[in-house]
Amino acid sequence: MTTEHIEETVETFIAPGLLLKEARKELNLTLEDISSRLRLRVEVLEQIEADQFDMGKLATFTRGYYRSYAKVVNVPEQKVLDALDQLGKAQIEQHDMQSFSRKTKRDKHDNRIMKLTWVIFALILGMSVLWWWQEQAQLESANDAELIAEVETAKSMEQVEENKTDAPQTEETAPTLDEAEMLQLDTNISELETDSKTLEKETIKESEAPVEIKKEEPVAEKAVVTEDVVMTFSSDCWLQVQDASNNRLYSGVKKSNQTLKLTGKAPYKLVIGAPSAVTLTYKGKPVDLSVYPAGKVARLTLPQ
């Protein structure tokens, strides 16, 4: 039976502060020398060499001090950090990073709320614009419908008048006269003949009298008034024209080859049902109506 002897080697634990202190002395450096290089107070360096930790500081800062000290005295950083871990102090725990993670989560949450707020604002703005556009379209459609109704009424009235003009007139039967009326009529005719003879005699006397020649007074020439708005129609078209005082200068239907001339107080508001059928001039200058699409009501103000 063989007995094996197991030899255990026990390493002597050296505190991290002591490692740094011995390395400093080997380099013949003072605490003041280390303080000037690391920009740390001598009291802080003494606490590091004595492994006296400030509980008010985070472990990250404490480990940073040890690493900076180790670089100055040429001691491996990992050796010092391992000794610090074995000492069981200045260890990085989860709670040291919680503040950063919480801030990151809070920022993400705030960003999501901000994006949602902008989306809601954009939806409200879009709905407001859409509602306004629909209201304007409905108002314009109502105005067009009212104008068309007025034009249709005017059309029907014109047709009724034309039908009355074209209708054959009935001959009236002459009433018969009785004997008393015939006698009265003969008396009136006799009186009329007597009056006519007397009138002829008076006329002859007046013609024989000398005639006075009167000089004609010069007639003042009247200024020529030109129309502001002149429209010529190539086909049937309904329209409405108002002046600056909202007085309706014309409202109705004009037929082909007709011309409408208007004068009032500018500016004029025109609504033309078929702009392609109208040739328009204002103050003698043509107005281009080709910009208005066919089949659409043209609304314009003169002067433009």
Instruction: Name all domains of the chain by residue range, CATH numbers in brackets.
Output: 16-94 (1.10.260.40), 229-302 (no CATH)
Is the pLDDT reported for residue 130 higher than 80? yes
In this structure, the dihedral spanned by the alpha carbons of residues 258, 261, 262 and 266, taken in order and rounded to 10 degrees, is: 110
pLDDT per residue over 255-271, tens digit each? Answer: 999 999 999 888 999 99
**pLDDT tens digit string along 94-123?**
444 555 667 777 888 888 898 999 999 999
pLDDT at 233 over 90: yes
Q: In what order do the strands lie in the sheet with 237-242?
A: 248-254, 237-242, 268-272, 298-302
Predicted confidence band at 278 (pLDDT cuts at 50, 70, 90)? very high
20-38 tens-digit pLDDT: 999 999 999 999 999 999 8
- Whether 174 has a pLDDT exceeding 80, the answer reads no
pLDDT score, position 222: 43
Q: Average model confidence (pLDDT) for the chain?
A: 76
pLDDT tier, 156 (very low <50, low <70, confident <90, very high otherwise): confident
pLDDT tops 60 at residue 250: yes
pTM: 0.33
